[in-house]
Structure 1
Amino acid sequence: MIKRQRITTRIKHARQAWKNFRVYEVVSHRLNQSIGTSHFALTANVAYGQHERQNFDLYRAVSPRKDRALMVFVHGGTWARGDKSDYAFVAESFAKEGFDVVVLNYRLAPQHKFPEYVDDLIHAVNYVHSQQQALSISTENLILMGHSAGAFNIMSALYAQAPDYTFNCMSQIKAVIGLAGPYHFNYANDANLQQAFPLEQHYKQVMPYYYVKKNNIQHLLLIAELDLIVASHNSKDMHYALCRAGNESTFERVPYAGHISLVGSLSSRFSDYFATKRLILSYLAKVLN
């Protein structure tokens, strides 16, 4: 009887481990192992709130750009997984180009639903803006970049029906870069996503696609040619909505990339093999010129 209970317990643990397992965690670990540290100075675990997830890592470029452009990166993970430490390779890659980079954590589902994780992004950026001198950075040229759920968070922070909070540095946000973002979908139809959203709210009350307004921000929306996770219509629809509102938006498809490799291709190790980083740097060169 005891032996059977032990076997049952092991099976339960194995199932839970498989449920929590993400191929990307293995990939990001390998990518992070390959990065150098000569291009940045790291300040880790800077708190912007009281919750254990409300913190960020700051990578200050050793050879910063003259415009001191600051990139804030927001990770994906279906709003339920992911950690800033997984994306050190993104920060290293852009610090090498002279960008100061913030990689932030935010509260996760199912304990925290929309708009809490969106509010966290706003609080984090406002904190960075208020503490820029103490952090030895500048928010004069701010770039927001997110992958998957992180891209949604950014768009929702900018375009919401009735936001509880707003950016205190809106005029300094020069560009938004969305990597395979889900901006226009019905979460009620997906059991894996229901935990991240209030089901009593219709998706049209939540999706940023429906609340786009005019501003001076430049938008670059990238999709992966081989993405099997987030449908391409999300970025296409968002691009057209931005253009209809009179905003500047560019839509690009990255060849040979999948949903995960789209962000993985930003690493210094693989950026020469994909168009992702080149497209971003080319776009930012025009925006920040």
Structure 2
Amino acid sequence: MFYPHWVQIKNRVEEFRLYDVVSTRLNRWTPREHFDLVSNVSYGEHARQTFDLYRTKKPRQEPVLIIFVHGGTWSHGKKEDYLFVGESFAREGFDVAIINYRLAPEFKFPAYVDDFVLALNHLEKQLPSHQMVLMGHSAGAFNIMSAVYHPQKYAFHAYSKIKMIIGLAGPYHFNYMGDSNLEQAFDVKRTKEETMPYYFVQNNNIEHILLLASKDFLVARSNTMDMHAALKAQNNKSKVEVIPRTGHISLIGSLSSHLSQFFKTKTVILREIERCLNQSSS
């Protein structure tokens, strides 16, 4: 669940303001020498069905693509805001795709999840030799989990390429009924049991790393802990990491190359990706 209604409204307004301010400043300071940027690649007919591709200038021997999905309560945000995420991992030898998707209130669940599946399928065709790591923040983490753990209307051709899911402060198990801001992103005729990825977990070989901000006052900790429990109940590999001194927004900001030395967020992610890839190759 999210926090009580009045807290949600206050934090959501502050969240949107902080997303814009923080990302603008971080991007202004972000170096460009570690990647070649391919902008606005279309994976569908809608104007929002595009992604930016950051091609690393020092590729790994076995190529890996990190696909990042932004948050914003399914109604806000754009891929350009996360140049600092693309740069941070491109400098480590990863190609990075940052995905746009259709937004509420014009589009409701599962439209934005369908978009992610289409984007992954497009990327799998474009980069067939790459293994995939899926990473999402907040609503973006929900989109990723739902793509993997919710019935899809599209064939999911890229599924076999997914090695790891990294969820940052994700809402995976909450009730959107009665909250006007959340209801605009979901069909109120469908219950949470028909919608939340928590209820559709199946066994697979994908690694899951769920990151919690120690001072997150927007998305309740129970979302992560419930999803972790559901994954473990199906004998899936799942690990929870709490990132000290971070809140809901600063958790994603801490991935910036200028800030990552002060937080353990990027260190944890790189460590877990390397461990996962080493296990796969052994």
State the TM-score, normalized to the length of structure 1: 0.90
1:78 corresponds to? 73
1:31 aligned to which of 4, 26, 29: 26
1:266 aligned to which of 241, 251, 255: 255
Separation of aligned partners in 2, 1:212 and 1:88: 32
Structure 2: 5+ residue runs without aligned partners?
1-12
Does the 8 Å CA contact 2:16/2:72 hold for their aligned counterparts?
A: no
Structure 1: 5+ residue runs without aligned partners?
1-17
Matches within 5 A, 1:1-289: 22-132=17-127, 138-139=129-130, 141-160=131-150, 162-289=151-278
Q: Percent identity?
A: 55
RMSD between aligned residues:
1.3
SS in 1 for 2:177: helix
Tell me which amino acid in the other structure corresponds to 1:143: V
Separation of aligned partners in 2, 1:273 and 1:198: 41
State the TM-score, normalized to the length of structure 2: 0.92
SS in 2 for 1:188: coil
Separation of aligned partners in 2, 1:19 and 1:166: 38
Q: How many residues align?
A: 266
Query: Looking at CA atoms only, which structure, 1 or 2, has the larger radius of gyration?
Result: 1
Separation of aligned partners in 1, 2:24 and 2:186: 29
Please list every run of at least 4 consecutive aligned residues from structure 1 whose deviation after the TM superposition is greater than 3 angstroms: 18-21
1:53-79 alpha-carbon deviations (Å, 9 max, x no partner) = 000000000001111110000000000
SS in 2 for 1:176: strand
Work out which structure has the larger RCO, using CA pairs closer than 8 Å and 6 or more positions apart in sequence.
Answer: 2
1:144-178 alpha-carbon deviations (Å, 9 max, x no partner) = 00000000000000111x32124202121000000
| C-alpha distance 19-229 of structure 1, shift in aligned 2 (>3 A) | closer
Separation of aligned partners in 1, 2:15 and 2:254: 24
| C-alpha distance 20-111 of structure 1, shift in aligned 2 (>3 A) | farther
Tell me which amino acid in the other structure corresponds to 1:286: R
| C-alpha distance 203-266 of structure 1, shift in aligned 2 (>3 A) | same
Separation of aligned partners in 2, 1:37 and 1:20: 27
Does the 8 Å CA contact 1:157/1:166 hold for their aligned counterparts?
A: no
